[in-house]
Amino acid sequence: MADIDTVRERVAGAKRLAVLTGAGMSAESGVPTFRGPGGLWRNHRAEDLATPEAFSRDPKLVWEWYDMRRTKVAQAAPNAGHHALVALENRLPGFSLITQNVDGLHRLAGSTDPVEMHGNIWKVRCTACNGITEDRRVPIPIPPSCNVCGALLRPHIVWFGESLDADVLERAFAAFEYCDVALIVGTSGVVQPAASLAGLARRVGAFVAEINPEPTPATEAVDVALLGKAGEILPQLVPG
């Protein structure tokens, strides 16, 4: 309880609060991670489907996989942790939310401007005109086509082997470079470049707290590690 009180006080006094969320946050809402043990789909690994090469080779197969994912995400709802971050955003003018998740649950909860580092599963991008639109159809016609030019659409997701958008990276790093308090929530701390954000915050003198059910590679480097679920801990950090 003393650690939670410390983090709550730091959050309440923050001029600039930066938050990074990862797959653990979405898992509490029932969103599968689709990677690692048990992550096979039709004998395919996620790492073999979420690539530009896989899409070029068999766009129908890739879209069938994403349609399955979208169907599962559509059944999920924001949890108490998502709503707590909305409450923090409403109370703290210097609030920034960076997420590695693509499920759109932060926006659904009411977060107004989350930085989605890896894209959004509900957005599609034209392979010809590059137009980006939201498409929440479940199921989605396979393969979907652009309403503007008729070309093939792809998920607006950063796939393995692709670079993150430069503007997205700039916003993410700026949030942690200029924060005075940082929260690292539900992320393994191993996927770059997000894994470097906690260290960046520490280097600029920010207070850094981690919220995870289990220790991660970042645990020893933060000021306070709160072991537990985001949906249980984050609501306790919202100033009264």
Catalytic site residue 118? yes
Please provide the CATH number assigned to the domain covering 2-31+78-118+164-237: 3.40.50.1220
All structural domains of the chain with their residue ranges: 2-31+78-118+164-237, 32-75+120-157
Cβ neighbours around 183 below 10 Å, total: 30
- Decide if pLDDT at 58 tops 90: yes
| pLDDT tens by residue, 65-89 | 999 999 999 999 999 999 999 999 9
Measured between alpha carbons, how far is 136 from 3 in angstroms, rounded to an integer? Answer: 41
In this predicted structure, the answer to whether residue 128 has a pLDDT above a threshold of 60 is yes
Q: What is the spatial distance between Cα 118 and Cα 121, in angstroms, rounded to a whole number?
A: 9
Catalytic residue among 82, 106, 118, 156: 118
> Is residue 37 scored above 70 in pLDDT?
no
| pLDDT above 70: residue 34 | no
Q: Where would I find the beta strands (DSSP E) of 72-206?
A: 95-99, 115-116, 119-126, 132-134, 153-157, 181-185
Query: The pTM is what?
Result: 0.93
Distances (CA, A) of 124 to 10, 15, 98, 219: 39, 36, 20, 36
33: pLDDT strictly greater than 80: no
**147 vs 121, 123, 135, 150, CA distance in Å?**
18, 14, 11, 6
Report the 10 Å Cβ neighbour count for 38.
Answer: 8
The pLDDT of residue 74 is 96
Task: Specify the CATH number of the domain 32-75+120-157.
Answer: 3.30.1600.10
Handedness of CA 227, 236, 77, 25 (dihedral sign): negative
**Measured CA distances, 80 to 106, 107, 130, 185, 239 (Å):** 11, 14, 36, 13, 15
Query: Taking a C-beta distance cutoff of 8 angstroms, is the pair 131, 125 a contact?
Result: yes
The β-bridge relationship of strands 17-21 and 95-99 is parallel
Determine the Cα–Cα distance for residues 73 and 120; give it in Å rounded to an integer.
Answer: 11
Q: Which of 11, 3, 2 is nearest to 181 (CA)?
A: 11
Alpha-carbon distance 76 to 239, whole Å?
Answer: 27
Which single residue is written with the structure tokens 């991670």? 33
Between 221 and 198, residue with greater pLDDT: 198
pLDDT of residue 146 exceeding 60, the answer is yes
Distance, CA of 85 to chain centre: 13
